[in-house]
Amino acid sequence: MVVYERTGGFAGVSDRVTVDHTGTVVTRGGTFELAPVEVGELRRALDRITTTASSAEGCDIPDHFTYTLSYDGWRATRCHRVPRDWMPAVMRLAALAERPG
């Protein structure tokens, strides 16, 4: 369903979250299942995204974070700051990256 990646920063972060259509989540920490309500909330947040093009703005800033989302046939990368319409989905996906598997 969705792949989220956040890389970079001062510490060289490398987070990757994959969520399939059934709610199975795969992260660096392991694999786990989302509750149906969580899958619905994530889909709603993703469906609200209208900014589906990549941008290199901010990629020249030292120690920036690079965010990549792949969802519903599109893949986009943004550096430093994510678009406002990405924030609800990115916040959910970043929390999943921290959840133990």
Residue 8 has pLDDT above 90, yes or no: no
Residue-wise pLDDT tens digits, 14-68? 899 999 999 999 999 999 999 999 999 999 999 999 999 999 988 888 788 899 9
Q: What is the pTM of this model?
A: 0.90
Question: Do 101 and 30 meet the contact criterion of CB atoms below 8 Å apart?
Answer: yes
Residue 101 has pLDDT above 80, yes or no: no
Helix pair angle (36-47, 87-98), 10° resolution = 140
Nearest to 7 by CA among 71, 94, 87, 101: 94
